[in-house]
């Protein structure tokens, strides 16, 4: 007797994104509660924002919205008992850790690495563009952090991140976190449960 | 023995706003479940959007975001069993019904009127700037719909709507629906429960 495969939900995320921090920290647990599996899809928001004429985070371009977001994020983190420290630099460049995540796309340590990078950025106010910070995020998860930093620079890994970012545009993604379930797109930490209910309700069960 | 006053939550709303439709339709029931009272604050988003350099809804200016919004709204309405018809004109000018809502701010029929206008716009694809549509929204709720249409044009009512819209800016409001509980601002239909939990948890109980 074989087990039916669990319904899959894709988490599309950018390491600079604020609401993606609580999303990344809780997605594994919430997905498990819905008996779903998370597929991690790192991408870059910068090119998408630039295509809309923004050269910065909309939370910086529209300060009223930015002030609200930081307060809203603080309430969300309070409710989840997650530490939050408003980064002294926002947004930070998430290119390097996104490439590491692409290099590690089939590795079981990937979810823990993703949480570690978000924690560095939003709980510890660390510069996630700095290789030494990314190395620190890998320590304890892999025996050879430096090898992963090297793999992140491989041409096929760089191409994978570019392909992800182009695929994000094709899927209609315009913000992070986004969840993709089949043909359905859900945007925002606050849509995680909706996306998971959709995945659980619309999955085809394999025969035993 | 007197009853303690119920915690109050302010619903700030613009009749053109899409996510305000499900919010307006469900707020009375959800507030009652949290033993809270809703105070209706109509305002206009147009001046706030113009101050940010937008001469249209951001859902029209950013079509990718607009496409997502209509799909997301359809899913939300499905879940609530609310009819939804994408308006043939979007956004519609909500000035007249907002003035009627200001004129009726102390009337018990106000919640039903608000729901009726949103239903006209988003379920029936009716032009809510048209006085005959607004009159229809008042029919069955008041014995004298035309008197309310006249009251909507009184200088003090127009001034009240202007004052609301200025107060919205002062409160840091940038979208609809917004909820205000004491000093806390919550934005979006998806923050209604958070706002109500905040109101219920932070209210001062009056002595019996």
* pLDDT in the model for residue B122: 98
CB-based contact B172 A62, cutoff 8 Å: no
CB atoms within 10 A of CB B16: 24
3-state helix, strand, coil in chain A (%, to 5): 50, 10, 35
Closest B-chain CA to A168:
B64
pLDDT tens-digit series, residues A23-56? 999 999 999 999 999 999 999 999 999 988 888 9
Least confident span in A2-11, B131-140, B187-196: A2-11
Contacting residues for A84 by C-beta, under 8 A, at least 6 apart: A21, A73, A74, A77, A122, A123
Residue stretches of chain A with pLDDT short of 50: 1, 205-208
CB-nearest to A68 from B52, B75, B185 is B185
User: What is the distance between the alpha carbons of residues B179 and B185, in angstroms, rounded to a whole number?
Assistant: 6
User: What is the distance between the alpha carbons of residues B181 and B160, in angstroms, rounded to a whole number?
Assistant: 21
Rounded to two decimals, the pTM is: 0.94
| Strands (DSSP E) found in chain B | 8-13, 37-42, 178-181, 184-187
pLDDT tens-digit series, residues B14-43? 999 999 999 999 999 999 999 999 999 999
CB-nearest to A185 from B68, B172, B186 is B68
Contact indicator for B169, B185 with CB cutoff of 8 Å: no
| Residue pointed to by tokens 């003035």 | B99
* pLDDT in the model for residue B206: 39
Q: Which residues in chain B are closer than 8 Å to A191, comparing Cβ atoms?
A: 72, 190
Element counts in chain B: helices (H) and strands (E): 10, 4
CB pairs under 8 A between A and B: 39
* pLDDT in the model for residue B51: 87
ipTM for the predicted complex: 0.93
């Amino acid at each position: 007797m074989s087990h039916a495969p669990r319904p899959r939900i894709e988490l599309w995320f950018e390491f600079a994104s604020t609401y993606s921090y609580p999303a990344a920290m809780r997605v594994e647990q919430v997905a498990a509660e819905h008996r779903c599996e998370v597929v991690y899809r790192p991408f870059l928001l910068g090119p998408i924002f630039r295509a809309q004429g923004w050269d910065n985070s909309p939370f910086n371009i529209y300060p009223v919205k930015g002030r609200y977001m930081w307060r809203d994020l603080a309430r969300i983190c309070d409710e989840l008992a997650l530490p939050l420290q408003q980064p002294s630099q926002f947004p930070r460049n998430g290119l390097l850790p996104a490439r590491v995540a692409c290099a590690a796309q089939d590795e079981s340590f990937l979810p823990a690495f993703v949480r570690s990078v978000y924690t560095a950025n939003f709980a510890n106010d660390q510069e996630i563009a700095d290789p030494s910070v990314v190395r620190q995020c890998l320590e304890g998860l892999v025996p050879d952090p430096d090898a992963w930093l090297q793999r992140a620079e491989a041409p096929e890994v760089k191409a994978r991140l570019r392909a992800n970012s182009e695929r994000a545009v094709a899927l209609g993604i315009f913000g992070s976190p986004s969840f993709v379930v089949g043909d359905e797109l859900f945007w925002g930490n606050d849509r995680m449960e909706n996306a998971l209910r959709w995945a659980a309700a619309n999955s085809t069960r394999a025969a035993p």
